[in-house]
């Protein structure tokens, strides 16, 4: 079967919890339905924004399964699947690949180990050989302490046809541009930060993996679709209107601000899991003012 390559605006889904910290499955299903109905092009459960590092293996599998079941084939679903042990990462990829209807996985560079470029190449090659599903590479050196250089990205997508995209969160537009110019046909470079989504599309990227689309899915989808169609005036106008929210989502460790706003909107509790703590009163005040300005709350 042909491999699905993500494009457009995808949402890095938050994981709703009840006040006692357990999974809130009804809230999660509602969030997923709202995302799809709002025009989001693909979904990524169990990434950084989904607090994947605090989910048990059973919870991780349950969240991915819930996403796929709720989506019911309407948009692609790429499950977060990261570990700093290559052997464990392979085992997890093989396990998640058995979820019926799952499109593919997103996997970040090994964290803490600080592997070389060759180490990263071997790590992702092992994952790519272990499964037939499409793989999105995830470069986020601010969290993993290691950068995946454009030459390594190129080596990987040249060597493995099921490595179909990279979510680039280095914040380095020159590096992102190099990834784009070196990409084989059909390989997509996706922005990993809301604030540079339009810039990356302007450079030739194929979309954005967004945090803000948890809160404003229609606006973020419209912004990226406008950019992809070449209407940068419209894309920049939306970007300008929602820019304060894009920044406020990271005024404190993510996803606490995002969950605080979703709580204000009545979508879920603001419960997060340690070591993330709930948004402070100052952050809530800032988010409340922005939400009122955008018409998200009364």
Structure confidence at residue 1 (pLDDT): 54
C-alpha span between 60 and 227 (Å, rounded):
33
Helix (H) or strand (E) holding 208: strand 207-210
Q: What residues does 40 pair with on adjacent strands?
A: none
Q: Which domains does the chain have, with CATH numbers?
A: 8-241 (3.20.20.70)
DSSP state of 279: P
Residue from 284, 295, 238, 236 nearest 261 by CA: 284
Catalytic: which of 98, 111, 114, 167? 167
Concerning whether 138 is annotated as a catalytic residue, the answer is yes
Burial 94-115 (b: 16+ CB within 10 A, else e): eebbebeebbbbbbbbbbebeb
Structure confidence at residue 204 (pLDDT): 98
What is the phi/psi pair of residue 162, to 5°? -85, 0
On whether the CB atoms of residues 170 and 147 are closer than 8 A, the answer is yes
Catalytic: which of 98, 138, 206, 234? 138
Burial 43-65 (b: 16+ CB within 10 A, else e): bbbbbbbbbbbbbeeebbbbbbb
Question: Counting every residue, how long is the chain?
Answer: 298
Low-confidence ranges of the chain (pLDDT < 50): none
Question: For the purposes of burial, counting CB atoms within 10 Å of the CB of 201, is it exposed (0-12), middle (13-18) or buried (19 or more)?
Answer: buried
Separation of CA 97 from chain center: 18
Q: What is the pTM of this model?
A: 0.97
Concerning whether 111 is annotated as a catalytic residue, the answer is no
Structure confidence at residue 253 (pLDDT): 98
Alpha helix positions (H), 49-140: 57-71, 86-96, 117-130
Structure confidence at residue 26 (pLDDT): 98
Q: What residues does 208 pair with on adjacent strands?
A: 9, 191
Structure confidence at residue 298 (pLDDT): 87
Peptide bond into 169 cis (omega under 30): no
Separation of CA 47 from chain center: 6
């Amino acid at each position: 079967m042909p491999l699905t390559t993500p494009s457009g605006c995808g949402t890095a889904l938050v994981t709703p919890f009840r006040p006692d910290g357990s999974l809130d499955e009804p809230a999660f299903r509602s969030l997923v339905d709202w995302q799809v109905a709002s025009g989001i092009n693909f979904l990524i459960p169990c990434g950084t924004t989904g607090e994947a590092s605090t989910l048990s293996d059973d919870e991780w599998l349950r969240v991915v399964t819930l996403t796929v079941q709720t989506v019911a084939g309407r948009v692609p679903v790429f499950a977060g699947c990261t570990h700093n042990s290559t052997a464990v990462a392979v085992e997890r990829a093989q396990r998640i690949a058995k979820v019926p209807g799952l499109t593919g996985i997103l996997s970040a560079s090994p964290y803490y180990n600080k592997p070389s470029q060759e180490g990263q190449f071997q790590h992702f090659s092992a994952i790519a050989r272990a499964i037939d599903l499409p793989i999105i590479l995830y470069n986020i050196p601010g969290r993993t302490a290691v950068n995946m250089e454009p030459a390594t990205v190129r080596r990987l997508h040249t060597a493995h046809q099921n490595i179909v995209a990279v979510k680039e969160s280095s914040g380095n537009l020159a590096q992102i541009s190099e990834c784009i110019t070196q990409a084989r046909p059909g390989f997509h470079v996706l922005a990993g930060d809301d604030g540079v989504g339009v810039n990356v599309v302007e450079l030739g990227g194929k979309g954005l993996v967004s945090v803000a689309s948890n809160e404003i899915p229609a606006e973020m989808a419209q912004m990226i679709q406008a950019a992809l169609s070449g209407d940068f005036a419209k894309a920049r106008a939306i970007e300008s209107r929602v820019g304060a929210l894009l920044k406020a989502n990271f005024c404190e460790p993510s996803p606490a601000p995002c969950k605080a706003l979703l709580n204000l909107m009545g979508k879920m509790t603001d419960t997060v899991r340690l070591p993330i703590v709930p948004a402070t009163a100052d952050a809530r005040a800032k988010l409340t003012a922005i939400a009122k300005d955008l018409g998200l709350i009364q």
